[in-house]
Amino acid sequence: MKRIQKGIILLGLLATIAVFWLLYPENNGVIVLEYHSISHLGGLFCLAPDTFEQQMGYLAQNGYTAISLDQLSAGLNDEDALPAKPVLITFDDGYTDNYTTALPILEKYGLRATVFIITGKVDQPGYLTWAQIKDMLARGIDIGSHTVSHRDLSKLSAVEQEKELKESKKTLEKALSRPIDYLAYPFGGFNAATLRLLGETGYLGAFSGIPGVNTANTNPYILHRIPMLNTKTGIWRFELYLWKLQLKDKIRQLRGLE
Ligand SMILES: [Zn+2]
């Protein structure tokens, strides 16, 4: 076969794969963004404030609705309960800059978010204080658990894991006078025991760092998130995921017009 024919076949194959990749790998559902620190400290898990603002501006200008944990719960059971273009914005670890830097940007664009707190770190230097957490709650930010000590749960015994899940939940519920239903896994780590213990300790769901979109078919204890990393591909992946969702929205609208 001539080289050019091979080339055409290869291109056709790639185009077919691209179409399937765009249309089938993920259903409509909720995209969850995973942030950590919003500051100039640098490092993979630390996003510069102007990059963060650029991303929040993009969401607001393109009609995304930042949802609460309750809206996520409802939406995973009934997709119709979700607003158009839902997105859940989350922060892990509970750094002070989530309050001083991220919150004003979120408010500027009318976006809400969820912060996962390491209860053993509250009131420590660099981390949120209880007063700041309470103020965030009052300003529409949701709170979840990120365990007590931020150890990788998959490396702990079941007894230790249970303690991490139970105590962080209890501490947050007592301090904030509201149910704490969701957890984010430190280092994305969990095992079979974690999944069982989450149910037993009364959590409705838990977030991993495994990219994807969340639907009614997603295991609520292995919810997908897109890690928003301080890399050039971080922004690229962000836009790619949102673009894919937008495309799906358009396809849905076209189907609705038929
Ligand atoms: Zn963490």
Query: CA–CA separation, 238 vs 222, rounded Å?
Result: 20
* CB environment 179-210: b (16+ within 10 A), e (fewer): ebbbbbbbebebeebbeebbeebebbbbbbee
Chain centroid to CA 132: 21
Query: CA–CA separation, 55 vs 253, rounded Å?
Result: 25
pLDDT by residue (tens digit) across 54-111? 999 989 998 899 999 999 999 988 888 899 889 999 999 999 999 999 999 999 999 9
pLDDT by residue (tens digit) across 210-255? 888 898 889 999 999 988 888 766 567 677 777 776 676 667 566 6
How many Å lie between the centroid of ligand 1 and the Cα of residue 147?
Answer: 9
How many Å lie between the centroid of ligand 1 and the Cα of residue 107?
Answer: 24
How many Å lie between the centroid of ligand 1 and the Cα of residue 149?
Answer: 10
How many Å lie between the centroid of ligand 1 and the Cα of residue 55?
Answer: 21
Chain centroid to CA 70: 14
Q: Show Cβ contacts of residue 66 under 8 Å, excluding neighbours closer than 6 positions.
A: 59, 87, 88, 89, 106, 111, 112, 113
140, 112 Cβ separation under 8 angstroms? yes
How many Å lie between the centroid of ligand 1 and the Cα of residue 126?
Answer: 14
The yes-or-no verdict on residue 142 having pLDDT over 70 is: yes
How many Å lie between the centroid of ligand 1 and the Cα of residue 208?
Answer: 11
How many Å lie between the centroid of ligand 1 and the Cα of residue 39?
Answer: 16
How many Å lie between the centroid of ligand 1 and the Cα of residue 93?
Answer: 5
Query: CA–CA separation, 121 vs 114, rounded Å?
Result: 17
Torsion of CA 105, 98, 54, 232, to 10 degrees: 180
What letter would DSSP give residue 25?
S
CATH of domain 28-257: 3.20.20.370
135 or 230: which leads in pLDDT: 135
122, 149 Cβ separation under 8 angstroms? no
DSSP symbols for 111-164:
---EEEE-GGGTTSTTB--HHHHHHHHHTT-EEEE--SS---GGGS-HHHHHHH
Query: CA–CA separation, 239 vs 217, rounded Å?
Result: 24
pLDDT by residue (tens digit) across 188-216? 999 999 999 999 999 999 999 888 889 88
How many Å lie between the centroid of ligand 1 and the Cα of residue 46?
Answer: 12
84, 249 Cβ separation under 8 angstroms? yes
How many Å lie between the centroid of ligand 1 and the Cα of residue 240?
Answer: 24
How many Å lie between the centroid of ligand 1 and the Cα of residue 48?
Answer: 18
How many Å lie between the centroid of ligand 1 and the Cα of residue 36?
Answer: 7
Q: What is the pLDDT of residue 256?
A: 61
